[in-house]
Amino acid sequence: MDLCDLTISEAHECLRRREVSSVELTQALLDRIVALDNDIKAFLTLTPELALEGARAADARRAAGEDDPLLGIPLAIKDVICVEGVPSTCGSRILEDFVPPYSATVIERLLARGAVILGKTNTDEFAMGSSTENSAFFTTHNPWDLERVPGGSSGGSAAAVAARMAPGALGSDTGGSVRQPAALCGVVGLKPTYGRVSRYGLVAFASSLDQIGPFGRTVADVAILLTAIAGHDPCDSTSMNLPVPDYADALKGDGGLSGVRLGVPKEYFIEGIQPEVETAVRSAIEVLRGLGAETVEVSLPHTDYALPVYYLIAPAEASANLARYDGVRYGLRVAGEDMFDNYRATRGAGFGAEVKRRIMLGTYALSAGYYDAYYLKAQKVRTLIRADFDAAFEQVDAIVCPTSPTTAFRIGEKADDPLQMYLSDVFTLSANLAGIPGISLPCGFDAGNLPIGLQILGPAFGEEAILRVAHAYQQVTEWHLARPPASNKRGRRIKGG
Ligand code: GLN
């Protein structure tokens, strides 16, 4: 048995039956990372000492009689989520030496359950991008084809899970950054409802859109992670004070989908979509019908406006959020002649091209004289987009569509063409604008053996519905069991603490 192949649920079973210890599991994954990550480059920081210390503590808790689905389970964390004492760079030079003095609420919750942290994963700078090519440090490679991107911005987390370097991970999704890399790497990724998961300790990109979400190789594993991180947090006033169900319970049952109504939005099967993606998604819909679901065509008439609206609202919020990187309080400081020159020099040297582009776009959209024409107008259209979903969810329980219009593209292919890059998220942005949850799961491969993702969207706080549909699909298909070629290399042992 290769310990790195275990899913979270399988690893939990092995730990529970004392067939393996968390230290053994953690060490196996650390070895795998050392063997593979020169090629894949999913991790920005590896934390072997922290991991093995956590694993030993988890083993001790288990020996004392405790049990939890995450007790002793190693995870990878996107570098925009703060872990106390561990560098959190956000893929940016401006935070290259930043070590947060506190952990995000999601991290506190995972650690309380006994999860183990393997390290911090690569991301587009401040989560702005769809390929990890905007990371200031390096690009992550897709384990299915090392010449291709893993998607982004949570590309490091998605690639780590796909390559069996971690059974689960956290990412963040502002416009698709969990779902799109999940699709491109052939794993499962979920963006929760806005307000379902605390954003405290998540470095802010666009505060009205950001949510932290889990990655796993199965829907069941993602349900376990979501249960652990969800819930109200007094430190995030936008987190909702609603009870958190055990999402894993939602997956029990006969696996049938009779009585479930699924909407197929006609605006999501458009020209420009890779034909193999459309074919795979349409056959997935047939599989869901075979399980008893009823499908109806729905319309989301304002879909075309999602991209322009997102690229006004997200940069506007980013321009305000990123004003804090002034070279005074923390992060990079480049000295200039006077105060304004300090700002200029620090921000000029610390931010990459895409971040600067967003700050300029956002500042412009918010400036006096343009605010009404751009920002305010975008907010009004955002309301219409949300209303489209409200209307659709009066008819159906969930919506099924592609996650991404294409499979993984080549590194460099879209790097110089921001608009092409932005189009990679046409199918995911709307869920963030509407605040609703979405999941992506593997539903096929293209001719080049690159994974294709199926997206299932649900009404606000309808995570159970989308998890149930996704899980039912995985019970009768095997796409999620395929392993990428780059995951096979065996490791030598590294020393931990
Ligand atoms: N690709 C989108 C962007 O660049 C979404 C990123 C995200 O969800 N963080 O903004």
Q: pLDDT value at position 168?
A: 99
Domain boundary among 316, 349, 377: 377
Instruction: Identify the domain boundary among 324, 354, 377.
Output: 377
The answer to whether residues 59 and 106 belong to one domain is yes
Residues 210-254: tens digit of each pLDDT: 999 999 999 999 999 999 999 999 999 999 999 999 999 989 988
Residue nearest to atom 5 of ligand 1 (CA): 175
Same domain, 328 and 459: no
Check whether residue 193 and residue 342 sit in a common domain.
Answer: no
Last residue of a domain, one of 377, 408, 435: 377
211 and 356, same domain (yes or no): no
Residue among 79, 126, 153, 422 whose CB has most ligand 1 atoms within 8 A, to mutate = 153
Is the domain of 250 the same as that of 157? yes
Q: Domain limits at 351?
A: 307-377
Q: At 18, which CATH number?
A: 3.90.1300.10
237 flagged as catalytic: no
Beta bridge partners of 455: 401, 440
452 and 475 share one domain:
yes
Are residues 345 and 419 both part of a single domain? no
C-alpha span between 490 and 30 (Å, rounded): 12
Q: What is residue 254's predicted lDDT score, i.e. its pLDDT?
A: 82
- From the list 41, 78, 191, 414, the catalytic residue is 78
Closest ligand 1 atom, CA of 424?
Answer: 1
pLDDT of residue 263: 98
What pTM value is reported for the model?
0.97
CA dist 235 → 106, 199, 247 (Å): 12, 9, 23
Catalytic residue at 78? yes
Residues with Cβ < 8 Å from 138, sequence gap 6 or more?
Answer: 41, 122
129 CA from centroid of ligand 1 (Å)? 5
pLDDT at 1: 80
Give yes or no for a contact between 192 and 438, defined as CB atoms under 8 angstroms apart: no
Which residues of the chain register pLDDT less than 70? 489-497
What is the CB < 6 Å shell around ligand 1?
127-130, 153, 173-177, 205, 314, 425
Query: What distance in angstroms lies between residue 426's CA and the mean position of ligand 1's atoms?
Result: 11
In terms of domains, do 370 and 290 share one?
no
Identify the pLDDT of residue 494. Answer: 45
User: Is residue 396 located within the same domain as residue 334?
Assistant: no
Residue 131 and residue 260 share a domain: yes
Q: CA torsion angle for 137, 138, 140, 146 (degrees, to 10)?
A: -170
Tell me whether residue 216 is in a domain: yes
**396 plus 327 within the same structural domain:** no
What is the distance in A from the centroid of ligand 1 to the CA of 483? Answer: 26
pLDDT at 270: 82
Per the annotation, the verdict on 404 as an active-site residue is: no
Number of domains into which the chain is organized = 2
Q: Does residue 430 share a domain with residue 286?
A: yes
In a domain, 493, yes or no: no
